[in-house]
Amino acid sequence: MQRILHFAQDSDTSGFFPQLAKWHDRSRYKMFFATLNPIAPWLRDYMEAQGVECFSCDCTSRAQFPLGMIRLARFLRRNKVDILHTHLFEPSVIGLQAGVLARTPVRVLTRHYSDYHTRINKKWHVRLDQLCTRLSHAVIAVSQHTTDHLVSVEGAAQEKVHTILNGIDFDRAKLSGPDARERIRREFAAEQSYLLLIVARLHPEKGHQYLFEALPEIQRRVSRPVRLLVAGTGSFFDAVYREQVRALGCEDMVSFLGFRKDSADLMAAADLVVLPSLAEAFGLALTESLYIGTPVVASRIGGIPEIVDDGVDGVLVPPADSSALAAAIADLLNNPERRTKMAGAGRERVQGRFRFEDMVRSYEAVYEGEIGGQSRAASHPIMSSSGS
């Protein structure tokens, strides 16, 4: 049985790591889970209830990262971990170096973002991304767009990069009950309003500001009140975005919800789910929305066109364009027949392409390929030109 450790940041609002614990092949893999920063208590409790041993490097600042690297390397050696799989930027930078120190046989990185560091001209971040690719035996890209960027821009070896689309656990995307839509709309006094929803962390790359800027124009174009629910966290930008909404005179239109566990209910209640991202490797909320049956409006950027069939189950607009965003949203709100036709149009495709179980099996195929490749290399060492 292979021993695998997934290394992440601290918490998980998407449910990705609990789903990994749920779907991994327990007959072939013993799973460990570790975090760079102090692990969220609820996440530790859930993972351990699934039989997954947890470990935290307990870094509370970047100054502690070198110590965290040593702690992780010791854990990898002590538990004889065969496969280290890192996720996100800082855990990959620290985790993969720890894996090298611990001589972990197989090191895998999932690139959950694509061109973000290049786009904002973070040169050192790009170099660290390239270092992580070099330290990995395999890199998993969550969209074809991410693969293309890794290979064509960052110079990754084509044979090292594997495109594996993110998956969703359809059990997690279920509604709490048959009255979920009506209950949510009552909660926000939106029974007679158009209800928009954005589910994303509060960060400039998600494009919230362009959606806020679009709200006055949307309201001018439609005959009913418009309400926007903003689900997601981000302590610094929460205050920034609230101030922007006040300055636009849209305070009564927008509700900041923070983190919500009932995102499926929110999506079912919304007339449209909006994701106006400036950079997006995948767009998990879009797959969940299409599965639930709510049309989407999103940016034509990154991996989003690999999820949304433009004009069929949603509408794609140029990024950073509040006017185009307003026009697309208002047109759909004013056309209930088109919205009804779009609702559910992407469900079958999502079920076929984005099953979480299929994603995990693809991950495991990458692990086995790397383990097999190393075994073959050990059995047939390359002879030097001198014959020694």
Higher pLDDT, 339 or 14: 339
* Percent of the residues in the chain that have a pLDDT greater than 90, as a whole number: 83
Domains present along the chain, CATH in parentheses = 2-167+355-371 (3.40.50.2000), 180-351 (3.40.50.2000)
pLDDT(113) > 70: yes
Mean per-residue pLDDT, 47-66: 96
List the alpha helices (DSSP H) in the chain.
16-23, 41-49, 65-78, 89-101, 116-119, 123-135, 144-152, 180-187, 208-221, 235-247, 263-269, 284-292, 322-333, 336-342, 347-353, 356-379
pLDDT-derived band at 380 (thresholds 50, 70, 90) equals: low
* 74 burial level (CB within 10 Å; 0-12, 13-18, 19+): middle
Task: Write out the DSSP string of 135-188.
Answer: H-SEEEESSHHHHHHHHHTS---GGGEEE----B-TTTT--SSTTHHHHHHHHT
- Model confidence, pTM: 0.89
Per DSSP, the three-state class of 49 is helix
Mean per-residue pLDDT, 212-234: 96
Question: Cα–Cα distance between 77 and 103 in angstroms, integer?
Answer: 8
Length of the chain: 388
Neighbours of 154 (CB within 10 A): 18
Phi first, then psi, for residue 138 (nearest 5°) are: -150, 145
Per-residue pLDDT at 376? 55
Per-residue pLDDT tens over the stretch 320-349: 999 999 999 999 999 999 999 998 898 888
Per-residue pLDDT tens over the stretch 250-284: 999 999 999 898 999 999 999 999 999 998 999 99
Question: Cα–Cα distance between 331 and 338 in angstroms, integer?
Answer: 9
pLDDT(379) > 60: no
Question: Cα–Cα distance between 375 and 372 in angstroms, integer?
Answer: 5
pLDDT-derived band at 127 (thresholds 50, 70, 90) equals: very high
Per-residue pLDDT at 15? 83
- 371 residue type, one letter: I
